[in-house]
Amino acid sequence: MAGRDMSHDKPSKTRPTRRAVFRLSGGTALVSALVGIRELTRSAVSEEEQAGGPVIDTHTHVVPPGLPGIKPMPEDVEKLYKGPLSGMADRLKVEMDQAKLKFAFGMGSLEGLKEDPLGIARTLELSKSVPGLKAIGVADPRRTEPEHLRAVEAQIERHREKLVAFKAYLGYLYFGPEDPNYVPYYRLAAKYHLPVIVHTGDNWSTTAKVKYAHPLRMDEVAVDHSEVRFVLAHFGNPWLIDAAEVVFKNPNVWADLSGLFVGGDKEIQDLLDAAKIPDSAPGLVVSDLKKAIGYVGDYKKFLYGSDWPLAPMGSYRRLIESLFPKEHHQEVFRTNAEHVFNI
């Protein structure tokens, strides 16, 4: 799935693939996430944007996800993940300050130990020094034995204040969201009023099977588990209209806007500086996204997320802001998340 190595290509009018942009960048697709504080000033939100109030980023990866077949990350990202927690904490605080974040929700790891069945221990440790960082636990359909589920519930009860949701890594694991092995997690979600975020759309893995991550599969689940709130991560991209129908039809389904564009400050700023955002960008047909947002027709059904560190928090915020009327920014960037996640 990785794009070819274009590091020695001559300039071309053809747009590189999203993966090529990511591979080329190494340190550029993640510039704001990985360089010094002074270089991050370009990502700072303007005073006018700050007037909209603090933002909630519902989708970040502050620990390695531990997913099978995951594509190699740029060296700087690997270094950040493998380094001391203090380094990650410092980086997060800078990024969150630049994007004016009130809260950031960090996805858990699929490699949680027996005493950490939700894969949130490292995130919780980070949260001690990063105000506003909340944890999202992994719902692992491979683990449904009673002992594991009891450990999951015990961990929920111990950390309910900082645990805001479950995450289902559809496609990375070969279980559709309707699989019976997810039902015990849906029951716990209902009991503890925890939303369930499900990966939908494209996967960053050599072994993932995207059929398990098609957003239409979530319609059946939303109907059968109407007491649970579901969030379609990445708005089902590239199946945006299909995802829009699931969000439109079901009152218990929302979409997050994370991971729709992978790039750094320069790539994002190039889009924003254009007289008109182009119809397509690497990995995203912008016109389809706009149509899908219009199809849903309700700004209360969208949640902001950055998918950091795949994009710098400040720049990605500006990109998503450009797609929504200013009068609805407060809903998309804060109050919808407060409602869905009981913040």
Segment 28-74, tens digit of pLDDT: 333 333 333 233 333 444 444 443 578 999 999 999 999 999 887 77
State CA 209 to chain mean position distance: 19
Task: With beta carbons less than 8 A apart as the criterion, state whether 171 and 203 touch.
Answer: yes
Strand ranges (E), 253-332: 253-256, 280-281, 284-285, 302-303
CATH topology of domain 39-340: TIM Barrel (3.20.20)
Looking at residue 265, its pLDDT comes to 84
In terms of C-beta density within 10 A (0-12 exposed, 13-18 middle, 19 or more buried), how is residue 113 classed? exposed
Looking at residue 46, its pLDDT comes to 47
Looking at residue 161, its pLDDT comes to 95
Mean pLDDT of 104-115: 91
Angle (nearest 5°) at CA 13 between 8 and 17: 65
Task: With beta carbons less than 8 A apart as the criterion, state whether 332 and 338 touch.
Answer: no
Q: What is the secondary structure of 192-241 as a DSSP string?
A: HT--EEEE-S--SBSS--GGGG-TTHHHHHHHHTTTS-EEEEGGGTT-HH
Task: With beta carbons less than 8 A apart as the criterion, state whether 265 and 315 touch.
Answer: yes
- 255 vs 222: CA distance, rounded Å: 13
Mean pLDDT of 146-153: 97
Q: Where are the domains of the chain?
A: 39-340
Looking at residue 52, its pLDDT comes to 56
Per residue in 274-333, pLDDT tens?
Answer: 756 667 766 778 889 999 999 999 999 999 999 999 889 999 999 999 999 999 999 999
0.95 cut: is pTM over it?
no
Task: With beta carbons less than 8 A apart as the criterion, state whether 19 and 263 touch.
Answer: no
